[in-house]
Structure 1
Amino acid sequence: MSQTVPVALTPETSRELITRFKSRLKSGGEALRSAYEAHPLTEPILKGRSRLVDGVLVDIWKEFGIPASASLVAVGGYGREELFPFSDVDLLFLLDTEPDHDLSERLTQMIGLLWDVGLDIGHSVRTIDECIEEAGLDVTVMTNLLEARLIGGNTLLFERFSDQLRGALNVAQFFKAKRLEQEQRYTRHNETPYSLEPNCKESPGGLRDLQIIGWISRAAGFGTHWRDLASHGLVTAEEATELRDLERFLQHARIRLHHIAGRREDRLLFDHQEKLAHRFGFEANEHRRASEVFMQEYYRTAKKVTQLNTILLQNFWAEFFPNRYPAAININERFQCVRELLDVRDEGVFDRHPSALLECFLILQQRSELKGMTARTLRALWRGRKLINAEFRHDPANRALFLRLLQQKRGVVQEMRRMNQYGILSFYLPAWRRIVGQMQHDLFHVYTVDQHIMQVLRNVRRFMVSEHAHEYPLLTRLATSFEKPWLIYIAALFHDIAKGRGGDHSKLGMKDAREFCSAHGLDETDTALVEWLVEHHLSMSNVAQKQDMSDLDVIRRFGDLVKTERRLTALYILTHADIRGTSPKVWNGWKGKLLEDLFFATQRLLRGATPHQALGMPLRQDDARNLLRYYGLRPGTEDKLWAQLDTVYFMRHDAEEVAWHARMLYYRVESDVPVVKARPTHGDEGLQVMVYMKDQKDIFVRLCGFFARLGFTIADAKIHTTRHGYALDSFLLLDPGQETHYRDVINLLEHDLTERLSDPDSPIDQPASGRLSREVKHFPISPGVTIEPDERGQHYIMSVTAADRPGLLFGVAETLASNGINLHTAKIATLGERVEDTFLISGPNLTQDTQVLKIETELLEKLAI
């Protein structure tokens, strides 16, 4: 290598170069942005920034006098001239031999200067042999180098590099590696395009899914444009046009994200969604924000990208491994089996036999050896979906076929998901089309409406499969013995189908369900069940999570609503599946127990028990006594404590809790010091805490402050005062961060809380002020407070709705205490970022409207902080 004198970068020279090139990049970037905003076209801004950076790099290359034997090469996205506003710039410094000291110095100074002028550089310095070796070891390196483009320097060296790289490339291995890479990427992003804040580059259905097609096409020599794939018969001309349109939408999203954030940002964060929507021209309507309208368009785009990605990868597989599998096996006159995949015998099958659009899914359910569909079947299905019109939907044979899909022993969820993925469900159920990709920004559901329904269907189906009986034994027993379980599948499909229309989605969905059942020939009894389930799919969770189930009237009213055990069983199954299908964070064992308790109480009532018997009152004390005998306590040990407890206590606590309290307190009924005991709940999902002490002012406020300071949220609270003036309070605590090992904190909690309660003059713990989450900031929840007398007029029910945050319950308790209000029970329902809490309260001030208004006003001020 020829020797050259390193450029001498004095501080003055360096500052001059930095100022000059930084200004050039800034002014050039601003001009590109202005041009884009005036005429939003993706190619001019992406290629324009690539050429802007090209010019700067070539000039800097010259400034440093890099030898003519070296080449400056753009790789990756920069190599294909797709440089987004704040994307990094991937460079290869290609050398003919190992660099000497002088060249290493020049390259080091040059790279430093590139960073200083504002370019986010990703770089490598390699010879051709090193490039080939690294590409053979790492498919990511091979991918980057495949898109190499010469910017400046030695042309012959670059051509030699390109020829050797092409010779080292094994297309079939490259295809396998890229497909595996995509599977791993999907796993990292939870295998769904439908997250609340998707990454428009990396998430399934994002730009990367299109780029992987381009890389494989380039590697196989099929070309670098979508129309090239069409010319090779891998897609149709229509699909090539659609791929380009999808790519443009995602490119616009990424360009605008970079502009809005002022930096490289590929996630569609809540912070940016509303601005993005307006940049795309979406506006709010009567029922939805502009961001929700935009996100629905994004999800639909992502869905189409995954569809076409699947078809193309299968086409590539057939191209690269043509003779790997045995000949086709005929299934019937329309379908055959090829490589364990369902294949149409010719691509005109659906045109001649439109009902085959449903039949193909039934065959997949009935033949377990089939693992999916061939690419040409998917392509024919995609084209044929528009044959599902009013005439198709009214055909009795097609209606019978659709019902058979729901009545199969296997594959119900998988094929419904496949039908949703390829648009068949949207054409067969027109109401479904409106919920595809529809986000629910209630911060409770983390899935789009259609994906949530699929989760609920999956949960219901799981109860029907004996292999999963260990998960929820009771539900499996009920589900497997339920006559016509497919009726619950129909209810699951329709329970949220009217979301986003405005009005009560349960009532609107009920009408859709009734029309479906009537059209598909269900008898009046079955139709009435499905219709009722859709109308009342929220009723059981509302009662279990928000009402006092120790109240006889609550159980009686719910029993009057349900009327039959068949309805109760179906609603219990659907409700459990629905709550678990909203978000992985929403479900817990405590909610499961609430539903189970309500189910058994109502079941006993429907079987002829009195309300007292339905709540287990005659048996509860007997069961508790049996448990005490099991633990070795003599008969009568519990009598002294129980003499101080009234009927309400036994109604609000189950036998196991009653026995636990008696074991802890039978010898301390007149204790002068507080008794604090804690234990993990079943399954270690939370912590049960019992506090027993002489009643005094502000106990509940003190307890709320203490628990909040430790970072716990109170999921349930039962407040009781004994006949002899002792407070016996029970709490269920949860760690919202799910990081606590509950057994590890029991001793500390018992010691510290006992010490705190023993000194009535100690200051009340003040919870740390909690910040609202990003989600709540962008989708605020208006606080609400209502105080109304209960039906018997003895107590009042206070309902509170607000955005969740640490210390929220403390603020409520503090306000109640300062107004002389007694708290009897607290039912805490946390739904994602939203809390809907219900309190049973009493106090002389509640009889005066002015005092109730004062309390409500004070609470709203606390909740609005």
Structure 2
Amino acid sequence: MLKIRKPRAVVDRRALVSHLEDIAADPALKNRQRRQKVLAAFKEALRHGHDEVRRRFLDEHGRGDHCVRENCYLVDQLIVTLFDYTVTHVFPTGVKTTGEHLAVLAVGGYGRRELSPFSDIDLLFLLPYKSTPYSEQVVEFMLYMLWDLGLKVGHATRNVQECMRQAKGDITIRTAMLESRHLCGDRRLWDDFHQRYQQEIVAGTGMHFVEQKLAERDDRHERLGDSRYVLEPNVKEDKGGLRDLHTLYWIAKYLYGVSDMRQLADMEVLSDQAATSFIKAQTFLWSVRCALHYLSGRPEDRLTFDMQSAVADALGYTDRAGARGVERFMRHYFLVAKDVGDLTRIFCAVLEERNRRRPALRMPGAFRKRNLEGFVVEGSRIAVPRDDAFETEPVRLLSIFHVAQKHGLDIHPDTLRLVNDNLRLVRSLRSDPEANRLFVEMLIHPQHAESTLRRLNEAGVFGRFIPDFGRVVAQMQYDMYHVYTTDEHTIRAIGILNRIEQGKLATELPLSTQLVQKVQSRRALYVAVLLHDIAKGRGGDHSELGAKVATKLCPRLGLTPEETETVSWLVLHHLDMSRTAFKRDVDDPQTIRTFADLVQSPERLELLTLLTCCDIRAVGPQVWNSWKGTLLRELFYRTEDALSGGLSAGSRDARAARKREALRESLEIAGWSARDIEDHLARGYPSYWLTFDTQSQQRHAELIRDAEAAGRLLTVDVCTDEIRGVTDVTIYTADHPGLFSKITGAMSLSGVTIVDAKIMTLTTGMALDVFSVQDNDGTAVTDEDKLDRLARIIENALSGKIWLEKELAAKPSGLPSRTRVFKVPPRVVVDNTASKTYTVIEVNGRDRPGFLYDVTAALTRCGLQIHSAQVTTFGERVVDVFYVKDVFGMKIEHEGKLKQVRETLMDTLNGEVARSVAARKKEAAE
């Protein structure tokens, strides 16, 4: 057991007892006064002890194991002292009868001497028989004193027989009693309790207890999402947290009677390395939990965004080149969570295997050992034939995973432990052609690639075999967009590519499902998915650095020079397709030309499309949506057309003329008169005919004709497109400066998200603006009430019935308040090369209600006309891209004007930053 450093500095029990004796001996004090003084003495001792333990932990960057033990020691001394005072001075007796004997036990986490700063204190008041008036008085006095001290005390008062009965019927009570520890009172009661617990509860029930605890663990994992790679993990309850270590401890204590996991190593149940790993993981998680409690001032177990930086600082994590302190801390957290997962899987499986009941009947062939490619198979598990198999033939460290994947087998827990013990041998395999062949075959296997790679990663083989991958294991990018660690994201991306190839995502990814059957460089594609984020966290552009890694690694993996070049190119450009689709206007021919010049060949276009889809879908469960799929498909088809010469066919005017003719034919079929058709065709400038498809243009024509006939000054029309995953909101009204800004403000008030906007001014001076919007969950807006409210708010905003600035300022942010910890530096980028006819302005900032309204209002103040807008949100970061012209309909090329635009936009963004900082300071003060 850990020795308490300078225990009297935590609590001086001798001085406290002396002070209590003086109070008890003072004849001038009445009972109430005496109790108040006793309570004050205990409060002072508790306060002093709590402050001392806190100081040691926070000021000295102390360890979690010291903190929980010292907190436990403090409470132990107070309870023992309180018990002695109670039975000596408050309810003194002469010779106690048998029924008046009493023992106080610590149970639960307190029983195993694990007490975080604000944890509950669980006590069991143990009686020999039924409760007596004396025992009731003692228990009541102690509990009220403890509660008045501000401690959260859970308690039960039972005799030994009741304890045995309840332990048999309730696994939670049985577990709490397993951890019981004698504090004070009759030692013989505790001895009797402990002996009967071992004889009546533990004996013969070991595997039943194991099964219940493992089932309990699985239920908890499923309830909490079954992932150790979540944005804001619960240090206690989530997968890879303290509760998983508790499960191991409970099982070990129940089966082997140990109180320290190191004893299992002495008993050769667990290796020394595994026992050390357990202690280190436990100490780290204790440290994190204690820091959370101290910094939040409450029993907080969730490592929220706003607490992650504070905890990292408290535990001494500092910024370094390429990684912030909080990112280094969270990487350490996930590495520990992974270690806990490894321990849980291997240790629990070993215990289950060693202690499992043998079925009375089993099929003779089902469990018969058989040989398979140099390994032994029993049932559904594969194992090595000898303990020295890896040492004599290290390549088996990979081949066993290869054989398990090929035949759909699990790996025996004892063999997994041997793998862990022999990880040092993996280094010698990096230059082994056979080992590299096996790895690539596992990567590109048509089935189970994801589960096999995850198994390799959890066993520690993956990161040892490919050290560059080992550098991103458990690496977390500190933002709200990236849900998983880099290694988990990569493995999930490979799994998505696997499912695309199997046709399992044909409904969601129809284009990718077609393309994956056509690509010639299948092996290069899988390796590119593996390596696309391999260089994250190195302090530079991870695409450029990753391309260099690919150039060195691919030949080692056995790829040809052509495949190596393809992989390197894909890694270098793996973000370019999504950037183009989401931040540029794909209706602009220059966008397509630029992207076509980048990809150069249909094969690269197909490979990049597949890699992009896998990458985006693997970021998180809510990141992909139909609208993004639509944008990527449009970019693919238009680029494919450009690569085959389609884009250059005919001038801009000729293509616009063809679109007008298509609409003419459509309107004739719809019964329009020749005069009405000509009047309508005269309304559109060439940009209008090139921006929308014929179906949309016919809808616009009907809307405009109805509005003109009715004499409406404003028309708002909504049309949901389930295939694209958006709702198109079309506004037809007289054009005027600031129109676009007012519309965006109204949409923000209504609670919808703008993902795309096309702004058209017709030859008649009327505006035809089309906004593609989504609900907060990334789907089309379909609720009729919400759509009606949206149209109503737009009408009120444009008619001046709503003061947009005031309404938007009062609107709460859609992001949780704790996410204010994220800082998004404002950024304005002006690009005059992305389009031949427009200036492209990209604005980056922190997401909030009214962001788009403020930015577009600033553009209006600069006298700019907005033609189109692409709006993308990446967690807390919003990226808005605008295609604009000046008041004369020209690109903005004058340096003075460009400077004015940049400064105006930056002033707008910096004003929001200042308001955000002020809000955080006000919130902290409150």
**Does the TM-score normalized on the shorter chain lie above 0.5?**
yes
Secondary structure in 1 aligned to 2:280? helix
Alignment partner of 1:734 out of 753, 766, 774: 774
2:497 matched residue in structure 1: 460
1:53 is aligned to 2:62? no
3-state SS of paired residue (2:808): coil
For residues 7-48 of structure 1, give each alpha carbon's deviation from its aligned partner in whole angstroms, at most 9, with x where no partner exists. Answer: x99764554343222211111222333445558355544333
1:800 counterpart = 2:843? yes
How much does 1:262 deviate?
Answer: 3.0
Picking from 81, 106, 113, the partner of 2:113 is: 81
Taking the aligned partners of 1:613 and 1:143, their CA distance within structure 2 comes to 79
For the Cα contact (< 8 Å) 1:701–1:813, is it kept in 2? yes
1:661 corresponds to 2:696: no
Relative to structure 1, the CA distance from residue 139 to residue 530 in structure 2 (aligned partners, 3 Å threshold; closer, same or farther) is same
1:353 is matched with which residue: 393, 404, 414? Answer: 393
Residue 458 of structure 2: which of 414, 421, 426 is its match? 421
Q: Is the 8 A contact 2:726 2:779 kept in 1?
A: no
* Distance (Å, rounded) in 1 between the aligned partners of 2:165 and 2:517: 58
Equivalent in the alignment of 1:217: 252
The answer on whether the counterparts of 1:469 and 1:476 sit within 8 Å (CA) in structure 2 is yes
- SS of the equivalent of 1:466 reads coil
Distance 1:355 1:657 in 2: 61
Please, which moves more after superposition, 795-804 or 519-528?
A: 519-528
- Secondary structure of the residue aligned to 2:546 is helix
- Superimposed CA distance per residue, residues 257-277 of structure 1 (whole angstroms, 9 cap, x where no aligned partner): 333333322233333333433
Counterparts of 1:125 and 1:504, CA distance in 2: 63
Choose 753-762 or 851-860, whichever is displaced more: 753-762
**Which of 820, 824, 830 is the aligned partner of 1:781?**
824
2: CA distance between counterparts of 1:484 and 1:279? 49
Contact 1:796 1:841 in 2 (8 A): yes
Structure 1 gap ranges (5+):
1-7
User: Cα 1:758–1:149, aligned 2, differ >3 Å: closer, same or farther?
Assistant: closer
614 and 436 in structure 1: CA distance in 2 versus 1, 3 angstrom threshold: farther
Deviations 1:306-359 (A, max 9, x none): 112111011111122153475443233631112311111122111111111111
Report the CA distance shift for 1:479/1:684 in structure 2 as closer, same or farther (over 3 A). Answer: closer
Q: Which amino acid aligns with 1:397?
A: E
Counterparts of 1:661 and 1:127, CA distance in 2: 82
Q: How many residues were matched structurally?
A: 854
Task: Give the AA of the match of 1:343.
Answer: A
Deviations 1:724-759 (A, max 9, x none): 111111112233367996323355236514642673
Q: What SS does structure 2 have at the residue aligned with 1:828? A: strand
Deviations 1:633-653 (A, max 9, x none): 668776643431233123222
Residues 262-281 of structure 1 mapped to structure 2, 5 A cutoff: 262-281=297-316
The corresponding residue for 1:650 is: 689
Matched, 1:40 2:77: no
Partner of 1:441: 478
Look up the equivalent residue of 1:568 and give its one-letter code. Answer: L
Measured in 1, the distance between the counterparts of 2:657 and 2:376 equals 64
Matched position secondary structure for 1:455: helix
Residue 31 of structure 2 is aligned to residue 16 of structure 1: no
Partner of 2:418: 380
**Letter matched to residue 104 of structure 2:** L
Q: Cα gap change, 1:96/1:487 in structure 2, threshold over 3 Å: closer, same or farther?
A: same
Read off the aligned partner of 1:386 and give its amino acid letter.
R
Please say if 1:767 is aligned against 2:808: yes
Matched, 1:641 2:680: yes
1:688-837 equivalence runs, <5 A: 688-736=728-776, 742-746=782-786, 748-749=788-789, 752-753=792-793, 755-756=795-796, 759=799, 763-764=803-804, 766-769=807-810, 770=812, 777-790=820-833, 794-837=837-880
Of residues 442, 451, 454, the one that matches 2:488 is: 451
Q: Deviations over 1:187-206 (max 9, x none)?
A: 23322222233222222222
Q: In structure 2, what is the Cα distance between the partners aligned to 1:621 and 1:293?
A: 58
State the distance in 2 between where 1:128 and 1:633 align.
Answer: 93
Q: Which residue of the partner structure matches residue 203 of structure 1?
A: 238
Match of 1:673 among 695, 713, 716: 713
Are 2:726 and 2:781, in contact at CA under 8 Å, matched by a contact in 1? no
Matched, 1:69 2:106: no
CA shift in 2, pair 1:516/1:741, >3 Å: same
Structure 1's 579 and 273: CA in aligned 2 closer, same or farther, altered over 3 A?
A: same
The amino acid across from 2:737 in the alignment is: K
Q: Which residue of 1 aligns with 2:201?
A: 168
Q: 1:747 to 1:787 in 2, by over 3 A?
A: closer
Q: Which stretch of the first structure deviates more once superposed, 108-117 or 377-386?
A: 108-117
1:561 matched to 2:598: yes
Say whether the 8 Å CA contact 2:322–2:539 is kept in structure 1: yes
Q: Which moved more, 1:777-786 or 1:31-40?
A: 31-40
Equivalent-residue separation in structure 2 for 1:254 and 1:774 (angstroms): 22
Q: How does 1:156-305 map to 2 (within 5 A)?
A: 156-166=188-198, 167-169=200-202, 170-305=205-340
Check if 1:399 corresponds to 2:442. Answer: no
Deviates more, 1:9-18 or 1:617-626: 617-626
Contact 1:563 1:606 in 2 (8 A): yes
Partners of 1:72 and 1:336 in 2: how far apart?
53
**Alpha-carbon distance in structure 2 between the residues aligned to 1:408 and 1:277:** 40
**CA offset at residue 683 of structure 1?**
5.9
Structure 1 range deviating more: 282-291 or 104-113: 104-113
Q: Structure 1 residue 624: deviation in Å?
A: 6.7
2:171 matched residue in structure 1: 139
| Contact kept? 2:338, 2:458, Cα under 8 Å | yes
Task: For 2:348 and 2:319, locate their aligned partners in 1 and report how far apart those are by CA, in whole Å.
Answer: 38
SS in 2 for 1:394: coil
Matched residues in 2 for 1:641 and 1:692: separation? 14
Report if aligned partners of 2:531, 2:550 keep a CA contact under 8 Å in 1.
Answer: yes
State the distance in 1 between where 2:899 and 2:423 align: 58
CA deviation vs aligned residue, 1:777-796 (integer Å, no higher than 9, x gap): 33311001133434666432
Question: 1 CA distance for matches of 2:250 and 2:179?
Answer: 8
CA distance in 2, matches of 1:77, 1:256: 18
What residue number does 1:526 align with? 563
1:701 is paired with a residue whose SS is helix
Q: Report if aligned partners of 2:839, 2:884 keep a CA contact under 8 Å in 1.
A: yes
Determine the C-alpha separation between the residues in 2 that align with 1:39 and 1:832.
33
Amino acid at match of 2:855: V
**One-letter code of the match for 1:147?**
E
Distance of aligned partners of 1:427 and 1:481 in 2 relative to their CA distance in 1, 3 Å threshold? same
2: distance between equivalents of 1:793 and 1:711?
35
Contact persistence 1:679–1:746 (CA under 8 A) = no
Please give the alpha-carbon distance, in whole angstroms, between the structure 1 residues aligned to 2:834 and 2:429: 53
Task: String of CA shifts for 1:517-549, please: whole Å, max 9, x gaps.
Answer: 223332333222212111110110011000111
Give the distance between the partners of 1:778 and 1:610, measured in 2 at CA.
46
* Residue correspondence of structure 1 range 300-319 to structure 2 within 5 A: 300-319=335-354
When the two chains are superposed, the root-mean-square deviation of aligned CA atoms in Å is: 3.0
Residue of structure 2 in register with 1:5 after alignment = none
- Displacement of 1:590: 0.9
Residues 842, 313 of structure 1: alpha-carbon distance in 2 compared, 3 angstrom cutoff: same
